[in-house]
Amino acid sequence: MLEIEMKAIRLTGYGNHKNLKVEKIPRPQVKKDELLIRVMASPFTRADVHMMSGKPWVSRLFTGLFAPKHKTPGTGFSGIVEQVGEDVQQFSPGDEVFGETTLGFGAMAEYLCIPENTLVFKKPKDLAHQAAACFGDGPLTAWNFLTRLTQIVPGQKVLILGASGSVGSAAVQLARHLGAVVTAVCSEKNHGWVKGIGAHRVIDYRVENPFSETEAYDLVFDAIGVGSFKQTKPCLTPKGIYLTPVFSFAVLCQSLFNKRIRFAATGLNKKELLKQMMMALIDLQQSGGLQLIMDTQYTPESIQDAHRHVAGGHKKGNVVVHF
């Protein structure tokens, strides 16, 4: 049978932007329970940068010990169903869909196959592919942390570090939606729009120490891992909690012994739970309670520039590769 080719981003090994290239590879063939999706957009995330670096080493237990197991990176996607397997019931060719492959990767390619019973959803008509593709990064992570790792009680004071990033900008909106009084930390250039999405107060980390107040916060959500429990403890109330989605061996060990320090890898949750959380987020977005903040869009050919941008640590919300 004649093999059809597609364009895909490929990893040549663990490392940096130099380990990314565009290649023609065989288009995947749809199995009985799968959808073949023509991918329109896939986010390039900070988590992708970490996974591509192969650091910390323990993360290689999931991504491959000596080289990346999955040569095509990317977990978030939005696109159009091209073909469905014979057992597929809920989707048809032409449907606009979005979702997350989690540890299956493979989303940064022109085509992707994904089983129908995983994290794939019909895309609301008024949501652009570029925005839909990003649901599984910032929003899903922030929702998991703010509703499952802790439960915000209305009126609680929350400090969000990295509030202008992907996870942070979602956390600002979701914390506000849950009734928190939100203080957001980012540089001055982002203050206007971060207030616009729900922050009551903003702090510029370049001119002010965000941890200088005592017993000011019930929760510190360190979305980019720039602080630590020890550093933030003085500004936490006596039972206050430090949450961070940024993996380090130290945070993992500390969280086992101190219930006030919390970390989780969102993608490792059961599929059913991830599905429920994604559906709650779609409802919230559709009712106007959640915006996906978009930074630059890149073509596959400029993937190394996308990597440099994201790894630089100053993106605004989400960066997307469009195919």
Binding mask of the shown chain, residues 100 to 139, with x at each position contacting ligand NAP by CB under 6 A: -------------------------------------xx-
Beta carbons of 182 and 175 less than 8 angstroms apart: yes
**Nearer to ligand NAP by C-beta: 118 or 248?**
248
CB of 109 to ligand NAP, least distance (A): 21
**Nearer to ligand NAP by C-beta: 114 or 293?**
293
DSSP, residue by residue, 181-194: EEEEE--GGGHHHH
Does 255 bind ligand NAP (CB under 6 A)? Our answer is: no
Q: Which of 119, 223, 281, 292 binds ligand NAP (CB under 6 A)?
A: 223
Among all residues, whose Cβ is closest to ligand NAP?
A: 165
CB atoms within 10 A of CB 294: 16
Does 315 bind ligand NAP (CB under 6 A)? Our answer is: yes
CB of 295 to ligand NAP, least distance (A): 8
Per the rule left: phi > 0, alpha: psi between -120 and 50, beta: everything else, 317 is: left
**Nearer to ligand NAP by C-beta: 35 or 163?**
163
DSSP, residue by residue, 75-126: -EEEEEEEEE-TT--S--TT-EEEEE-GGG---SBSEEEEETTSSEEEPPTT
* Both structure tokens of 306: 């996308």
**Nearer to ligand NAP by C-beta: 113 or 158?**
158
CA 53 to chain CA centroid, Å, is: 17
Does 32 bind ligand NAP (CB under 6 A)? Our answer is: no
**Nearer to ligand NAP by C-beta: 35 or 169?**
169
Give Dmax (Cα) for the chain.
69
Q: How many residues bind ligand NAP (CB under 6 A)?
A: 32
Q: Which of 246, 280, 284, 294 binds ligand NAP (CB under 6 A)?
A: 246
CB of 178 to ligand NAP, least distance (A): 18
Does 265 bind ligand NAP (CB under 6 A)? Our answer is: yes
Does 47 bind ligand NAP (CB under 6 A)? Our answer is: yes
**Nearer to ligand NAP by C-beta: 81 or 255?**
255
CB of 191 to ligand NAP, least distance (A): 9
Residues 155-214 touching ligand NAP, rule: CB under 6 A, are 161-162, 164-168, 185-187, 189-190, 205
H helices then E strands: how many in the chain?
A: 10, 15
Distance CA 254, CA 260 (A): 9
CA 317 to chain CA centroid, Å, is: 10
Stretch that binds ligand NAP, among 12-20, 74-82, 234-242, 309-317 (CB under 6 A): 309-317
Q: Name the H helices within the chain.
A: 46-53, 60-63, 129-132, 138-144, 166-177, 191-196, 229-232, 249-257, 271-286, 303-311
Which among 81, 83, 80, 87 is positioned nearest to 33, based on CA atoms? 87
Beta carbons of 304 and 191 less than 8 angstroms apart: no
Q: Residues interacting with ligand NAP, by CB under 6 A?
A: 45-47, 50, 137-138, 141, 161-162, 164-168, 185-187, 189-190, 205, 223-226, 245-246, 265-266, 313-316
